[in-house]
Structure 1
Amino acid sequence: MKVPYALPYIGEEEIQEVVSALRSNWLSKGPKTLEFEKAFSSLVDSAHAIGLSSCTAGLHIAQVVSGVGPGDEVITTPYTFVATVNTILHCGAKPVFADIDPVTLNIDPEQVERMITPKTKAIIPVHFAGYPCDMRPLLALADKYKLTVIEDAAHAVYTQYHGKPVGSISELTCFSFYATKNLSTGEGGMVTTNNPELADKLKAYSLHGMSKDAWNRYSDKGSWFYEVRYPGFKYNMTDLQAALGLRQLERLAHMQQIRMTYAHAYLDAFSQLEELVLPVDSPEHRHAWHLFFIRIRQGALTITRDEFIDLLKEEGIGTSVHFIPVPLHPYYQQAGYRIEDYPVAKEAYEGVISLPLYPGMTVEQVNYVIDAVVGIVKKYRR
């Protein structure tokens, strides 16, 4: 049996909606983007949602409208995809890493406070795998030190923190709709905010700093005149992306139920394996289950993490590793960052494996993955 690591979950509804967008002759940002933004803001209980070309674009302009610039420091986690950190550099600021919590693998608020200096401008917590960061102490720190919190919610569509949807908690939250995300537009992203002034700036910065987008210039009710108010970027979402997102949004609850069912099947099956550390799942929060990862306890098996991955590959099972900590990448090593300064992130990386988890999987595939993992652990346990 073959079990790919991840596949998009696209049905006839999405195909027909994209065809409808094509036939409308409006391909860039237009009515479907506006409809998708409205629907997504309702999902996450946020006053404003700005559709973008990617979550990376969102992280960049969220920092720009927050005033992050040269001489500033932005604190984030070393245990994230590099886009989170690259965008800090794009603003001319300095990334500062705070180590992670050993249980959730999310940024540790106590470590964050230790890293705050007079140069600190913002904190970017990352909701790893779909489980929420502990936002209350982070927001308290932001209030105490007059900082901006920008949530990286690339994994966190559908996540809730103490009953509040991620997207309504901080001043700015950035989502990803990449091909394998819980809700996909192929490529795409969204920034949510309850601040109308920031929303206006985000809209302008996402489209060259212009006062009007194409829909407001070229539609029947539009006007040709516009002004450039900021030195903006070309980061807008298109109606083709939004069309896909609209139908995905309608099916999101169904897709999430499948993810949760499969994640709990993994949890139940692996809970008796002392050699593995499993993801945390708390009734206080709603886990989006973007990823399901296992961690091999140090010294528990006679094989390495990489050998474990190779054995799964021989069984036809795709896997991934989330994440290679940012300080391990050559550019950041040359910039002076050392993984030894973040021992929790280092240990997590050395044992972590992400298993297949997506709505298009069958129950038979899930059971096949379970049998393979259990068999490998039992064969190679010390």
Structure 2
Amino acid sequence: MNAAARIPVMVPWLGEEEARAAADAVLSGWVAQGPRVEEFERAFAGRVGAGHAVAVSSCTTALHLALVVLGVGPGDEVVVPSLSFIATANAVRYTGATPVFADVEAATGNVTAATVDAVRTARTKAVLAVHQGGVPADVHSLRAACTRWGVALVEDAACAIGATVGGKPVGQGALLAAWSFHPRKLVTTGEGGMVTTDDAEWAARLRRLREHGMNVSAAQRHAGAAPVLESYLEVGFNYRMTDIQAAVGLVQLGRLDAMVARRRELAARYDTLLEKVPGLTPVRDPAYGRGNFQSYWVLLDPSFPVDRGALLAALARDSVSARRGIMAAHLEPAYAGHEHAPLPVTERISSHSLILPLFHSMTHDQQDRVVAALREQADR
């Protein structure tokens, strides 16, 4: 193919509105966690159908705090998918508990009640289920199973804002859900995260824990005319979000419906175009829900003429920025020697999948170039 401008794998939808919102926060004189964070929390809770939302510094810290409020600690086990960004498993280790890797189903890349049941033990305190790449997990069956087993279910919804299960937003009805605002996600604040829950006491504790365990927030201390002597009720963390980030997040949240609609439109076009490329299986919506296509990934069939590494290299030569598929944490050096059950589906997806470019401003010409580059390798 002829040389052309490189097609990125992802471009955040950021513009003048976000720039003005951030500037207004700076000019207000209140740039740390304050009124804009509170406004963002209310708006986010309403958007995902949760009773409470607590803004934090990242999805990783959101996962950590969710496990802390559940009382997860040394001696406990938490079942997690290995097929996820490594932060999912790491958050368990932060508490001193042991992550236990479960396999996933091939169609969605998500854990199921059956794959969790295969590895849970008497020491299982919680299950951490991921809505991988924006494909919703079957939370109805997972929630029912966790209730039967007497364990807590935490949802890692890092990629899933705007996805639905049974027509309702991912996160609605969740015991605890963690969210990411990294630039690869649909809604971004640069960095940042959120914990959502319907439990008011947990929400209050989450707010304390993110701010060093203080009984009163810094914003409340500075807002009053009289001095406030705070106390520290427990060992907490510095996991706060800034008002600058929240200002951007509020604008981004207003774009969400348009983001999801555009990504689903482009994903549907990919589906049609890739029907003519043999040896590729694209990610699809599950029967019980609709994804947001935070990532559009394809699985290489054994019949595909080149391996994943060679395909990524060929796409790069054609100025297409694809990425390897979702990582498998148990194969990383950080988890060398960590005992686990066989994970055949995880290893197959992780080693034979790749993520294709998908972003709101992507043109049909760019999509055609991506598919042409794939077809060229398929026809070898």
Give the CA RMSD over aligned residues: 1.4
Measured after TM superposition, the shift of residue 365 of structure 1 is: 1.4
Q: How does 1:295-334 map to 2 (within 5 A)?
A: 295-298=299-302, 300-334=303-337
State the match for 2:229 in structure 1: 225
Deviations along 1:250-309, one digit per CA (max 9) or x if unpaired, are 1111122111111111111112434111112246412111000011101x1221110000
Matched residue type, 1:190: M
Q: Structure 1 pair 302/216, CA: closer, same or farther in 2 (3 Å)? A: same
1:194 aligns with 2:195: no
Q: Structure 1 pair 116/269, CA: closer, same or farther in 2 (3 Å)? A: same
Q: How does 1:208-287 map to 2 (within 5 A)?
A: 208-220=212-224, 223-282=227-286, 284-287=288-291
Q: Is the CA contact 1:216–1:222 (under 8 Å) kept in the aligned structure 2?
A: no
State the match for 1:371 in structure 2: 372
| Aligned equivalents of 1:228, 1:146: Cα separation in 2 | 32
| Aligned equivalents of 1:201, 1:220: Cα separation in 2 | 22
| Aligned equivalents of 2:32, 2:214: Cα separation in 1 | 15
Find the residue that maps to 1:101 and give its secondary structure. coil
Q: Is the CA contact 1:209–1:228 (under 8 Å) kept in the aligned structure 2?
A: yes
1:354 aligns with 2:358: no
Measured after TM superposition, the shift of residue 225 of structure 1 is: 2.1
Matched residue type, 2:250: L
1:204 aligns with 2:205: no
Measured after TM superposition, the shift of residue 325 of structure 1 is: 0.4
**Greater CA deviation, 44-53 or 365-374?**
365-374
Measured after TM superposition, the shift of residue 227 of structure 1 is: 1.8
Matched residue type, 2:209: Y
Q: Is the CA contact 1:216–1:223 (under 8 Å) kept in the aligned structure 2?
A: no
| Aligned equivalents of 2:218, 2:292: Cα separation in 1 | 35
Q: Tell me the TM-score normalized by structure 1.
A: 0.95
Measured after TM superposition, the shift of residue 3 of structure 1 is: 0.2
State the match for 2:181 in structure 1: 177
Q: Is the CA contact 1:271–1:278 (under 8 Å) kept in the aligned structure 2?
A: no
Measured after TM superposition, the shift of residue 228 of structure 1 is: 1.0
Matched residue type, 1:317: V
State the match for 2:126 in structure 1: 122
| Aligned equivalents of 1:64, 1:51: Cα separation in 2 | 16
Measured after TM superposition, the shift of residue 7 of structure 1 is: 2.0
Find the residue that maps to 1:334 and give its secondary structure. coil
Q: Structure 1 pair 222/38, CA: closer, same or farther in 2 (3 Å)? A: farther
Q: Is the CA contact 1:8–1:360 (under 8 Å) kept in the aligned structure 2?
A: no
Aligned length: 376
| Aligned equivalents of 2:255, 2:349: Cα separation in 1 | 33
In structure 1, stretches of 5+ residues that fail to align are none
Deviations along 1:190-247, one digit per CA (max 9) or x if unpaired, are 0000000110111111110111111101024675222211210000111011011011
Q: Is the CA contact 1:175–1:191 (under 8 Å) kept in the aligned structure 2?
A: yes
State the match for 2:346 in structure 1: 345
1:84 aligns with 2:88: yes
Find the residue that maps to 1:115 and give its secondary structure. coil
| Aligned equivalents of 2:225, 2:369: Cα separation in 1 | 56
